[in-house]
Amino acid sequence: MRELVKKYKEQIITIDDCKIIRGILDVVTQRGGFKGTELSTIGAIYDKLTKVIDINTNAQQQNEGGEESNG
């Protein structure tokens, strides 16, 4: 069971992973690594990553604020 949990955790994409992927998209785009016809797709993925990161960051801040007021 522990091995199964470990394998599962290794396959999870974290918020830090999302930030890294978003940074990679920035760098590759700045260096001209995508064709013009691909940019709308790349932009959509970038926007999705940003939304996930923002939602997680806001939730984390709310949790931290709630803990402070409860503590």
pTM above 0.85, yes or no: no
- Distance in angstroms (rounded) separating the CA atoms of residues 50 and 42: 12
The residue ranges of every structural domain in the chain are 2-70
- Distance in angstroms (rounded) separating the CA atoms of residues 34 and 28: 7
In the structure encoding, which two tokens stand for residue 12, read together?
């999870």
List pLDDT tens digits, range 8-37.
Answer: 777 889 999 999 999 999 999 999 999 999
Q: How confident is the model at residue 67 (pLDDT cuts 50, 70, 90)?
A: low
In this structure, what DSSP letter does residue 11 have? T
